[in-house]
Amino acid sequence: MKPNFSLRLRVFNLNCWNIPYCSKDRVDRLKRLGDFLNVESFDLALLEEVWSEEDFETLRQKLLPTYPAAHYFRSGIIGSGLCVFSKHPIQELAQHVYTLNGYPYMVHHGDWFCGKAVGLLVLHLSGLVVNAYVTHLHAEYNRQRDIYLAHRVAQAWELAQFIHHTSKKADMILLCGDLNLHPKDLGCRLLKEWTGLQDAYLETQDFQGCEEGCTMVPHNCYVNQQELQPFPFGIRIDYVLYKAVSGVCVSCKTLKTTTGHDPLGGTPLSDHEALMATLCVRHSPPQDSPSLARETAEMPPLVTVLKEACMELGLGLAQAHWWLAFASCVVGGGLLFLVLLCALVAGGDSGQVALLLLGLSVGMVLGAGAVYLFHMQEAKGLWKTQAELQHVLGRAWDAQDMGSRPRPAQLLRQQLDNRAVEQ
Amino acid sequence: MKPNFSLRLRVFNLNCWNIPYCSKDRVDRLKRLGDFLNVESFDLALLEEVWSEEDFETLRQKLLPTYPAAHYFRSGIIGSGLCVFSKHPIQELAQHVYTLNGYPYMVHHGDWFCGKAVGLLVLHLSGLVVNAYVTHLHAEYNRQRDIYLAHRVAQAWELAQFIHHTSKKADMILLCGDLNLHPKDLGCRLLKEWTGLQDAYLETQDFQGCEEGCTMVPHNCYVNQQELQPFPFGIRIDYVLYKAVSGVCVSCKTLKTTTGHDPLGGTPLSDHEALMATLCVRHSPPQDSPSLARETAEMPPLVTVLKEACMELGLGLAQAHWWLAFASCVVGGGLLFLVLLCALVAGGDSGQVALLLLGLSVGMVLGAGAVYLFHMQEAKGLWKTQAELQHVLGRAWDAQDMGSRPRPAQLLRQQLDNRAVEQ
């Protein structure tokens, strides 16, 4: 690479809020989004919540001349809602579906049915390998009593792990998406600490857009005003994050957000604001791998956030165990009803009471059995994540050569073992 | 790295057949496996079908002095059954759970409940980065009428993709496990073609063990003789595969299998035979990346196998669509019964017939609804895999610069689009 090498990368991100039959002005907004993307001609447009593949196909046809490469990431029952449009050929594709993603019986929230995922596309731009990731994490429905917190932390960790393990030979990493995490939330800190990704809003030399970089603002007419009441400026949950891996440095020249209106007139493009970043990639003398550097100098903040995540997953695990116990009791109750039913039938009663009892017991055993199996899977997923975090904590202490001091991973494991025994 | 650099790596792999309450002589076999691993002191022991975490913990305690590092890969409801024991510190860990893994209603086969996965451990040995993978793919229960074929092909592709994307900065890749694939099966060819992995049995300079390298042999007393009737020597479904990525060359000095008996006496260690490989890693002048090389010179065999896999996934997709149609009909029938029930109740009949009808209709709607949702997820998973394969096919033709000839991916896409329209 020449010392005066320079590459400009213009990136667009939007959670499109395109739910068929539910989202207001969907068809019109989609049309205007296509027009806008064609006019602006970004290098890369990364979209979330394009739930219908027909909508994706409509966009693909419309954007084909400007963005010849496109991909829809299929997963779950409904689909991940993630798709990408690129001006440059997509060299490679991959995706990872998050192990934990809410509960199937929370049908009204629907996240479980989507199969939330992270999609990866590898681009070769002017000789550089660019790994671009797009994702959408589980929504936060109640910030005060967030039953999905442990799942979102686990998703943030899986996202960080996926990026960490798949980007080792990339020159530059780009992550866009709706993380459903505020900047100081545990999941966001965990992701940034483990991957070393930088936040375009915090790093940019020129920001234009909503106050505090918010991407859900009260004056967007599609936003539920009540939900945003505690946040007068709105919330920042959509991100453009980036990192230079080797031989290059990346800076964010400009970052813009839409401001609750369509940039070309009309109603907003979505209930979220779009992010538009211009990144500048320049030659830089080779340095030590940042991830290796993190293992020594910058370990304390990583250790703190890993410990916090371990504790949060521990709480999630306790909750999963409570559900396992509850489901076991209901299955037991159902079996008891079956015994009662047998006694009734043996006593000659085969009338309506017996039939009702049969329905009730079968329903209880099957229903609670399914709940039991689901939460068993949840517990395994949380435990797996916790074990990976503990492994990193262990390696961190090994690297710092803490000698005879008890390692935090061991301490945590002990605490959690004790808790498991107590249950 | 010095020109005379040399590293010897001794690896052990076994599908342990450790199913609590089901597998014969489980506790005794586990004890003898621990003794054997301690005596042999391999660098790395990779195990499958250790279904119980208590068994893993027993082994871990026993092997701690010889193998200080160990990890159990948790997933699904039961667990992946995968675990590793290493003489060297495990630097990093990751795992990927396969999107498709059989059917929940095939309870007697049980694979769906396990959450089959691939586990990755990164080791640093004498300055080399070694990525070691362990996996276990969906079992083959009926070779003549294999309803899981599309799932196994999809798993082989996800395995290949996981290795491809996570090993780009490794110096050496090692994959051990029970692939449930014969050497010439589509999944096995797809895996080898996409990753460039070499088969220790085919490459070794010195093989000692079962005829044709088989890892399930008829004279193992735990093997179901009837299942192996068409294969007089047995079948080869467990593998040690390896690849040098950069700056090194890897060769297999020796490969041994157990031969239906415990190597230290007594009954066999499992119904599968163990694999023991001695790999030799040597310095080699840097060459072009093999995966890049594959994109040009070696494309035709890859194209052939990709096309074959696309067709197989298409058949799986057709089957999934059949199930979707069937489940829709049953849900429709259930709803019809509900209407009938309402008519009966409106007519004053609220007796046993009405109750029976209620149970039947609710059962049909819920049961078939669940089947519908599951096969919808299956269809998305198969479609996703097919799209990834088609993308690679497209890139392959681009690389070969085929000019105006129709690209196979386009042709295939057309065929599949036609089929989807027909349904």
Q: What is the pLDDT of residues A347-366, one digit of tens each?
A: 776 677 777 788 888 889 98
pLDDT at A25: 92
Whether A301 shows a pLDDT value over 80: the answer reads: yes
Q: How far apart are CA B394 and CA B310, in angstroms?
A: 13
> In which element (H, E) is residue A339 found?
helix A299-346
Which of B253, B251, B244 lies closest to B287, judged by CA? B244
With respect to residue B71, please indicate whether it lies within any of the assigned structural domains. Answer: yes
Whether A422 shows a pLDDT value over 60: the answer reads: no
Report the percentage of chain B scoring pLDDT > 90. Answer: 66
- Give the residue from A283, A305, A326 where a domain finishes: A283
Asked if B97 reaches chain A (Cβ–Cβ under 8 Å), the answer is yes
Confidence band for B299, pLDDT divided at 50, 70 and 90: low
- Of B74, B76, B358, nearest to A387 by CB-CB distance is B74
In terms of average pLDDT, the best of A371-385, B181-195, B338-352 is B181-195
With respect to residue A289, please indicate whether it lies within any of the assigned structural domains. Answer: no
Tell me which residue has tokens 């990751």.
B94
* Interchain CB distance below 8 Å, A352 and B355: yes
For residue A377, give the chain B residue with the closest CA. Answer: B77
CB B101 within 8 A of CB B136: no
What value does the mean pLDDT take over residues A45-67? 96
pLDDT at A348: 76
Q: Which amino acid is at B67?
A: Y
For residue A70, give the chain B residue with the closest CA. Answer: B391
Query: A93 and A205 share a domain?
Result: yes
* Interchain CB distance below 8 Å, A77 and B168: no
Asked if A24 reaches chain B (Cβ–Cβ under 8 Å), the answer is no
Mention every residue, 6+ apart, whose C-beta is less than 8 A from residue B129. Answer: B122, B123, B169, B170, B171, B172
**CA distance, residue A169 to nearest chain B CA (Å):** 6
* Interchain CB distance below 8 Å, B77 and A391: no
Whether B423 shows a pLDDT value over 90: the answer reads: no
Backbone angles phi, psi at B77, to 5 degrees: -95, -45
* Interchain CB distance below 8 Å, B76 and A377: yes
With respect to residue B289, please indicate whether it lies within any of the assigned structural domains. Answer: no
Q: Decide which of A288 and B73 is more confident.
A: B73
Q: Which amino acid is at B248?
A: V
Tell me which residue has tokens 């934990």.
A100
* Interchain CB distance below 8 Å, A115 and B377: yes
* Interchain CB distance below 8 Å, A89 and B398: yes
Query: A206 and A100 share a domain?
Result: yes
Asked if B368 reaches chain A (Cβ–Cβ under 8 Å), the answer is no
Provide the number of structural domains found in chain A: 2
Mention every residue, 6+ apart, whose C-beta is less than 8 A from residue B411. Answer: none
**CA distance, residue B372 to nearest chain A CA (Å):** 10
What pLDDT, in 10s, does the model give residues B264-280?
Answer: 777 899 999 999 999 99
* Interchain CB distance below 8 Å, A99 and B380: no
For testing contact with chain A, the best of B121, B169, B171, B352 (most A CBs within 10 A) = B169
Which of A303, A286, A295 lies closest to A409, judged by CA? A303
* Interchain CB distance below 8 Å, B93 and A388: yes
Q: How far apart are CA B220 and CA B210, in angstroms?
A: 11
Q: How far apart are CA B61 and CA A150, in angstroms?
A: 30
* Interchain CB distance below 8 Å, B165 and A92: yes
CB atoms < 10 A from the CB of A28, how many?
A: 12
Query: A256 and A334 share a domain?
Result: no
Q: Which residues in chain B have their CB less than 8 angstroms from residue A365's CB?
A: none
pLDDT at A407: 47
Backbone angles phi, psi at A198, to 5 degrees: -105, 145
Query: A302 and A258 share a domain?
Result: no
For residue B79, give the chain A residue with the closest CA. Answer: A380
CA A123 vs. chain centroid, Å, equals 22
Q: Which residues in chain B have their CB less than 8 angstroms from residue A94's CB?
A: 161, 165, 388
Which of B14, B26, B30, B119 lies closest to B72, judged by CA? B119
- Give the residue from A283, A309, A329 where a domain finishes: A283
Asked if A75 reaches chain B (Cβ–Cβ under 8 Å), the answer is yes
CA B199 vs. chain centroid, Å, equals 16
Whether B108 shows a pLDDT value over 90: the answer reads: no
For testing contact with chain A, the best of B51, B165, B294 (most A CBs within 10 A) = B165
Asked if A345 reaches chain B (Cβ–Cβ under 8 Å), the answer is no
With respect to residue A288, please indicate whether it lies within any of the assigned structural domains. Answer: no
Q: Which amino acid is at A367?
A: G
* Interchain CB distance below 8 Å, A94 and B388: yes
Q: Which residues in chain B have their CB less than 8 angstroms from residue A169's CB?
A: 168-169
Which of A380, A377, A367 lies closest to A327, judged by CA? A367
Tokens read off for A351: 């009338």
Q: How far apart are CA A192 and CA A173, in angstroms?
A: 12
Query: A185 and A39 share a domain?
Result: yes
Q: Decide which of B275 and B358 is more confident.
A: B275
Please report how the helices A149-166 and A299-346 are oriented relative to each other, as an axis angle in degrees rounded to 10.
Answer: 130
pLDDT at B296: 41
Tell me which residue has tokens 């640093």.
B124
Pairing of strands A44-50, A6-18: parallel
Query: B48 and B96 share a domain?
Result: yes
Q: Which residues in chain A have their CB less than 8 angstroms from residue B376's CB?
A: 77
With respect to residue B121, please indicate whether it lies within any of the assigned structural domains. Answer: yes
* Interchain CB distance below 8 Å, B96 and A96: yes
pLDDT at A401: 58
Query: A316 and A256 share a domain?
Result: no
The domain containing residue B194 runs over which residues?
Answer: 6-283
Whether A140 shows a pLDDT value over 60: the answer reads: yes
Which of A228, A229, A197 lies closest to A215, judged by CA? A228
**Poorest-confidence range of A74-83, B264-273, B358-367, B399-408?**
B399-408
Q: Which residues in chain B have their CB less than 8 angstroms from residue A289's CB?
A: none
Asked if A115 reaches chain B (Cβ–Cβ under 8 Å), the answer is yes
- Residue B363, classified by CB atoms within 10 Å of its CB into exposed (0-12), middle (13-18) or buried (19+), is middle
For testing contact with chain A, the best of B91, B92, B357 (most A CBs within 10 A) = B92
**Which residues of A are catalytic, by number?**
272
pLDDT at B220: 93
- Give the residue from A283, A316, A338 where a domain finishes: A283
Q: Decide which of B260 and A300 is more confident.
A: B260
Confidence band for A292, pLDDT divided at 50, 70 and 90: very low
Q: Decide which of A58 and A267 is more confident.
A: A58
Q: How far apart are the first and last CA of chain B?
A: 59
Query: B255 and B327 share a domain?
Result: no
> In which element (H, E) is residue B383 found?
helix B352-400
Whether A85 shows a pLDDT value over 90: the answer reads: yes
Q: Decide which of A328 and B3 is more confident.
A: A328
**CA distance, residue B341 to nearest chain A CA (Å):** 16
Q: How far apart are CA B113 and CA B132, in angstroms?
A: 25
Tell me which residue has tokens 């959509």.
A238
What pLDDT, in 10s, does the model give residues A158-197?
Answer: 999 999 999 999 999 999 999 999 999 999 999 999 999 9
Query: A334 and A387 share a domain?
Result: yes
Query: A242 and A300 share a domain?
Result: no
With respect to residue B204, please indicate whether it lies within any of the assigned structural domains. Answer: yes
pLDDT at A349: 67
Asked if B13 reaches chain A (Cβ–Cβ under 8 Å), the answer is no
Confidence band for B406, pLDDT divided at 50, 70 and 90: very low
* Interchain CB distance below 8 Å, A381 and B75: yes
pLDDT at A416: 42
Which of A136, A131, A126 lies closest to A174, judged by CA? A131
Which 3 state secondary structure label does DSSP give B173? Answer: strand
What value does the mean pLDDT take over residues B408-419? 45
**CA distance, residue B220 to nearest chain A CA (Å):** 34
* Interchain CB distance below 8 Å, A161 and B74: no
Q: Which amino acid is at A397?
A: W
Q: Which residues in chain A have their CB less than 8 angstroms from residue B92's CB?
A: 165, 395
What pLDDT, in 10s, does the model give residues A200-209?
Answer: 999 998 999 9
Query: B319 and B279 share a domain?
Result: no
Query: B169 and B27 share a domain?
Result: yes
Q: How far apart are CA A133 and CA A147, in angstroms?
A: 27
Confidence band for A287, pLDDT divided at 50, 70 and 90: low
pLDDT at A199: 97
Q: Which amino acid is at A343?
A: A
CATH of the domain at A276: 3.60.10.10
Q: How many interface pairs between A and B have CB atoms less than 8 angstroms apart? A: 100
Whether B193 shows a pLDDT value over 70: the answer reads: yes
With respect to residue B1, please indicate whether it lies within any of the assigned structural domains. Answer: no
With respect to residue B288, please indicate whether it lies within any of the assigned structural domains. Answer: no
pLDDT at B417: 43
CB B286 within 8 A of CB B247: yes
Whether A299 shows a pLDDT value over 80: the answer reads: no
Q: How far apart are CA B380 and CA A113, in angstroms?
A: 12
Which of B139, B84, B343 lies closest to A387, judged by CA? B84
CB A152 within 8 A of CB A136: no
Asked if B161 reaches chain A (Cβ–Cβ under 8 Å), the answer is yes
Report the percentage of chain A scoring pLDDT > 90. Answer: 66
What value does the mean pLDDT take over residues A224-230? 88
* Interchain CB distance below 8 Å, B359 and A355: yes
Q: Which residues in chain B have their CB less than 8 angstroms from residue A373's CB?
A: 77, 113
Q: Which residues pair with A10 in a beta bridge?
A: A278
Confidence (pTM): 0.90
For testing contact with chain B, the best of A83, A91, A92 (most B CBs within 10 A) = A92
Q: How far apart are CA B135 and CA B353, in angstroms?
A: 52
Long-range CB pairs of B104-111 (<8 Å, 24+ gap) are B104/B374, B105/B371, B109/B139, B109/B141, B110/B78, B111/B138, B111/B139, B111/B148
Q: Supply the mean pLDDT for chain B.
A: 88
Q: How far apart are CA B324 and CA A209, in angstroms?
A: 46
Pairing of strands B275-283, A6-18: unpaired
